[in-house]
Amino acid sequence: MRYFDPHIHMVSRTTDDYRNMAAAGIVGVVEPAFWQGQPRTSVGTFVDYFSTLVGWERFRASQFGIRHYCTIALNPKEANDVPLAEEVMAVLPRFLAKDGVVAVGEIGYDEQTEAEERFFAEQIELARRHKLPVLIHTPHRDKKRGTERSLALVRESGIDEELVLVDHLNETTLPLVLETGCWRGHSIYPDTKMSEERMVLLLKQYGTEKMVVNSAADWGVSDPLKVPKTGAAMRAAGFAESEIETVLFANPIAFYAQSGRISLDELGSVRIDQRRLWEDNSVLRGQAPVVQE
Amino acid sequence: MSEPAKAEALRARLEQASPEALAWLAAARAALATGDPGAMLAAVYAPARRELGAHGALDVPEIGRWTIAAAARAVVLDEALGHTPGAALALTQHLYRESDEAAQIDLVRSLPLLACAAALKPLALEAGRTNSRAVFAALALDNPYPARYYTEREFNHLVLKALFLDLPIARVVGLARRANAELARMCEDYVEEREAAGRSVPADIWLAAAPHASARGEAMLARYAASGEPRQRRYAREALARRAGTERAHH
């Protein structure tokens, strides 16, 4: 069974994670641009971070047989420093033009301020101009109202809802998105937010259409194997292999394939060659390189 | 007490209580006069806990209990900002961003005392977005600043984040006074979300949710007052009693 994790912050994960993910059947990931735990204070650090997403991190993933794609945006948690946010908006287009950048994201609300709304709306517009899909982060606090307002903004913008993935949904917010044409993303965490068991209940209740599952694993307590674990939970609950593959592989790829920069064919064709270097750097520290023929 | 009066009261108490602080302040003032205010302020602020930390605490009427080091930091910050009134926000933001967690905590705690407190709201909001539970607690708990200066939306999000971080919202200054229907709505949505997820609800949520509860909130309150674990019942019943008392007072 092949898996795809469409929302995972690999910059904060180790090579052990990559190795375990590959062993568990994950063949591709999308890493969205987000904050790093404390606010950035200059546009240069955003530029360097975006460059990492399309550069070093993509290479690091490939060394373990995983295809790495990313989304680029000014995230809601850093949208309130308006002068800095404007500088970031100005550098986004040059990253959105790159290969492997499959959407504008993560965008959305954090505390539902005016500044957040401004840059949320501007980035939906940016996505339309670049003909890219949009990844929306729904806030963790005042989530229901934040989701309602996000969907309202999507409607107002006129963007095709097929191009919009609304993420971090739960029992109270999924029904809101089901009334729209947007895709439905769920982040599976240990302890908090959504679990595999609750996810399985949602899939049983609402079906698998446009349903997407991810680990959103990052620098906090999280688990980069939540996608295969959700697969196991689905299997235990009686879902067919084809349904599991639909939710945990085909759906996320189909969504992001609308960017024209990822396809079902590409996945599974990364051959590991750990002799390769990226800007003269290797992931190895004295080990013998793995080379797949 | 007005802000200038508070800073003055702290300074007077500090100078009286601690010869070390008196000497430290004199040295800090001299340093501030020598160079770029931003750089010098950070230079004197950063080592304050190491230099003064061992020397006890003060109790100041209407202001509370302060360590000598935190009080000295507050006084030197207030004086530095007094010399550069037009740049007060920029200077404080710079200091905050350059500070480690412990210094950020002292800075945030001192906000309501500063003469230019009102101008520093953007910095308070920035501190509120912190990932550090300790820095957030310094802003949200035992701190009159948010209740005094925040809009309704800003105050509500502060309270909600405190609930999310499992902080005791009984210590949010001015919560009873500033509670409102929108805050109640946010809390009621949160209760629904947690119940749908099969997860527990913070027992003290009623402090924020009860005062302006909608019909939905009243039904939740009644439910939690009647069943659920003991701490939940206690908070819910107390909230109901306060509501009944308020209604009686209005009739």
- Give the best residue of A149, A172, A192 to mutate against chain B (max B CB count within 10 A): A172
Quote the CA–CA distance of A39 and A182 in Å, as a whole number: 30
Kindly report the nearest CA distance between residue A58 and chain B, in angstroms. 27
pLDDT at A287: 85
Q: Is the pLDDT of residue A94 over 70?
A: yes
Across the interface, of B157, B161, B193, the residue whose CB is closest to A143 is: B193
Confidence of residue A192 (pLDDT cuts 50, 70, 90): confident
Mean pLDDT of B199-210: 95
Residues of A in contact with B198 (CB under 8 A): 198
**pLDDT category of residue A269 using cuts at 50, 70 and 90:** low
Inter-chain residue contact A80 with B126, CB threshold 8 Å: yes
| Cβ within 8 Å of B, A 53-82 | 77, 80-81
* Interatomic CA distance for residues B133 and B156, integer angstroms: 18
- When pLDDT is cut at 50, 70 and 90, the band that residue A38 belongs to is confident
Of A39, A142, A170, the CB nearest to B160: A142
CB-CB contact of A10 with A68 (8 Å)? yes
Of A113, A115, A91, A95, residue with least CA distance to A104: A95
The arithmetic mean of pLDDT across residues A207-233, rounded, is 97
Say what the pLDDT of residue B250 is. Answer: 65
Q: Do A145 and B153 touch (CB under 8 A)?
A: no
pLDDT (tens digit, 9 = 90+) per residue, B144-185?
A: 999 999 999 999 999 999 999 999 999 999 999 999 999 999
Q: List the Cα angle A251/A252/A257 in 5-degree steps.
A: 100
Q: Is the confidence at residue A268, as pLDDT, over 70?
A: no
- The alpha carbon of B168 is separated from its chain's Cα centroid by a whole number of angstroms, namely 12
pLDDT attached to residue B37: 82
Determine the average pLDDT of the residues in B42-52: 92
Q: Judge contact between A106 and A76, C-beta under 8 A.
A: yes
Closest-CA residue in chain B for A192? B199
Section A85-104 average pLDDT: 97
- Residue B66 burial (C-beta neighbours within 10 Å; 0-12, 13-18, 19+): buried
A204 vs B: CB within 8 A: no
B181: phi then psi, degrees, rounded to nearest 5: -65, -35
A169 contacts in B (CB within 8 Å)?
none
CA–CA dist B228, A210 (Å, integer): 37
State the count of interchain CB pairs (< 8 A) between A and B.
49
What pLDDT, on a 0 to 100 scale, did the predictor assign at position A193?
76
> Which of A181-185, A255-259, B199-203, B240-244 has the weakest average pLDDT?
B240-244
Chain A CA closest to residue B165: A141
Per-range mean pLDDT, top range of A11-25, B11-25, B227-241: A11-25
Q: Is B249 on the interface with A (CB under 8 A)?
A: no
pLDDT > 70? residue A271: no
B248 close to B219: Cβ distance less than 8 angstroms: no
Average pLDDT for B6-31: 90
Comparing CB atoms, the residue among A111, A145, A172 nearest residue B196 is A172
Which H or E run contains A101? strand A101-108
Evaluate if residue B249 carries a pLDDT over 80.
Answer: no
Residue B4 reports pLDDT greater than 80? no
CA atoms of A174 and A182, how far apart (whole Å): 11
Q: pLDDT averaged over chain B?
A: 92
> Best residue in B97, B131, B164, B199 to probe A by mutation, most A CBs within 10 Å?
B131
What ipTM was assigned to the predicted interfaces of this complex? Answer: 0.86
Please list every residue in chain B whose beta carbon sits closer than 8 Å to the beta carbon of residue A170: 193, 196-197
Question: Per-residue confidence at A208, pLDDT binned at 50, 70, 90?
Answer: very high
Residues in chain B with CB shorter than 8 Å from the CB of A110 are 129
A211: number of CA atoms within 13 Å, CB side? 22
The pLDDT of residue B195 is above 70: yes
**Residues of A with CB below 8 A from B181's CB?**
none
Which of B160, B163, B189 is most worth mutating to test chain A (most A CB atoms within 10 A of its CB)? B189
Q: How far is it, in rounded angstroms, from Cα A173 to Cα A138?
A: 9
Q: What is the mean pLDDT of residues B216-229?
A: 93
A145 closest CB neighbour out of B189, B196, B197: B189
Residue A293: which pLDDT band, with cuts at 50, 70 and 90? low
CB atoms within 10 A of CB A209: 11
Q: Is the pLDDT of residue B251 over 80?
A: no
pLDDT at A253: 97
pLDDT at residue A159 is higher than 70: yes
C-alpha to C-alpha distance for A79 and A243, rounded to whole angstroms: 38
Residue A41 in contact with partner chain B when CB distance is under 8 A: yes
Q: Closest chain B residue to A81 measured between Cα atoms?
A: B126
User: Distance between CA atoms of A289 and B157, rounded to whole angstroms?
Assistant: 51
Element (H, E) at B247: helix B230-249
Rounded Cα distance, B236 and B141, in Å: 21
Chain A interface, best mutation among B93, B157, B163, B200, by max A CB count within 10 A: B157
Residue A275 clears pLDDT 90, i.e. is over it: no
Q: Is the pLDDT of residue A163 over 90?
A: yes
Q: Which residues of A touch B125 (CB under 8 A)?
A: 80
DSSP string across A3-43: EEESS--GGGS-HHHHHHHHHTTEEEEEEE----SS---SH
Give the pLDDT of residue A264: 87
- Span of A207-211, B32-36, B99-103 with lowest mean pLDDT: B32-36
